[in-house]
Amino acid sequence: MKKIIKTLIFIVITTLFTGQLISATQTSIYAEVPNSNTKTPVNIAVFLYDLNDKWINLVKQNLENIQKEHNGEVNFTFFDAKGNQLIQNQDIDNVLKQRFDALIVNFTDIRSDSISDIITRITKRNIPLIIFGDPTESLLNLVKLNNKAIFVSSDNEQCGNLQGQIIVNEWNHNKAAIDKNNDNVLQYIMLRGRNNNVAADIRTKYSISTINNAGIKTQELETTYGGWNEETARTAIESLFLTYNDRIEAIISNNDAMAIGAVKALQKYGFNNGNKEKNIPIVGADGIPEAIDLIKKGFMTGTTIQDSTNAAQALYNVGLNLALGKYALENTDYKFDSTGITIRLPFAEYKP
């Protein structure tokens, strides 16, 4: 009888112990994967040079749309530098004290002495970095030291070539109307974004070289800096028109916002209102809706389109890859250019 009781006690104790062991084992397994259905959103800080820039604002809106479409997958936090590199530097300093999975930075002044220090500090924090803008040679060498950093840039050479070709086509079809003094030379005003700006330098260079390579002689009446801004460009062209008047045969602008400002300036003096006898060719870049509308109305000659939706999608795709520890180009159709770390976003000529 005692033997039977001992056996029963042993069975009960063994059963209880085994049950506790199984329970403990199950708890340990689920602790490793608390809830496989729960996703933690990737947090990406986006620093934009100036939300008054209409194209940059469109990129922001498209990133916001992507966040809505991929609810719970990514959170974008936006910082507007308002055209001031010092404000942007402070914003980046503050973000580096917080927890973000990646940074997208559209530097206000890519040539600023402070940029190298910022990139170095981001690299030391081991945070993935996407620089949204054109690389300088010195920054390329610095960014290559960070295997989690790339550039997403415009193909500004292509942009300039397309702008130049629009002017070439206009000259070939309407030379009698454009060449007001019949000297076989295109007298033009160049509206540049900013002084010592990579994108402005490249767009300016290739727009004019394309015109010259087509056999058209050119004379620059004036270069003026519009800061990529419509109102600044409008004020500048209003003043320059009083100086050069009917000597102006074309206006080439580094972006659409400034081109729109030029249109409005000329309209003040009765030009570019639809009368072909009083029209000065104006070419912009970016393809923003207001510029497209002016082209359709015949008030502006042309533009090159850089799709803000595609730009935002590229930033999202590579940003998410880098934030998740993947290769930047994984599962994308993007390619790096000869630098090995720069994606160039294409332009296309707008054709009504």
Per residue in 156-168, pLDDT (tens digit) is 999 999 999 999 9
* Largest Cα–Cα separation, the chain: 127
Instruction: Let me know whether 106 and 25 are in one domain.
Output: no
Per residue in 168-184, pLDDT (tens digit) is 999 999 999 999 999 99
Task: State the burial class of residue 291 (Cβ atoms within 10 Å of its Cβ: 0-12, 13-18, 19+).
Answer: buried
Instruction: Let me know whether 249 and 208 are in one domain.
Output: yes
Could you tell me if 224 and 257 are in contact, meaning their C-beta atoms sit under 8 angstroms apart?
no
Contacts of 178 (CB under 8 A, 6+ apart): 170, 171, 186, 249, 250, 281
- In the chain, the percentage of residues whose pLDDT exceeds 90 is 84
Instruction: Let me know whether 195 and 106 are in one domain.
Output: no
Instruction: Let me know whether 34 and 48 are in one domain.
Output: no
**Is residue 65 one of the residues assigned to a domain?**
yes
Whether 264 has a pLDDT exceeding 80, the answer reads yes
Instruction: Let me know whether 176 and 90 are in one domain.
Output: no
Instruction: Let me know whether 202 and 298 are in one domain.
Output: yes
Average pLDDT, the chain: 90
| Structural domains of the chain, count | 3
The pLDDT of residue 16: 41
Instruction: Let me know whether 193 and 279 are in one domain.
Output: yes
Instruction: Let me know whether 187 and 287 are in one domain.
Output: yes
- CA–CA dist 129, 119 (Å, integer): 8
CA neighbours closer than 13 Å in the CB half-sphere of residue 238: 12
Instruction: Let me know whether 282 and 177 are in one domain.
Output: yes
- CA–CA dist 288, 291 (Å, integer): 6
Q: Which structural domain range is residue 317 located in?
A: 43-155+308-347
CATH number of the structural domain spanning residue 59: 3.40.50.2300
**Is residue 352 one of the residues assigned to a domain?**
no
The pLDDT of residue 135: 92
- Provide the whole-model pTM: 0.86
The pLDDT of residue 31: 26
Residue 8 — pLDDT band, cuts 50, 70, 90? very low
Instruction: Let me know whether 262 and 286 are in one domain.
Output: yes
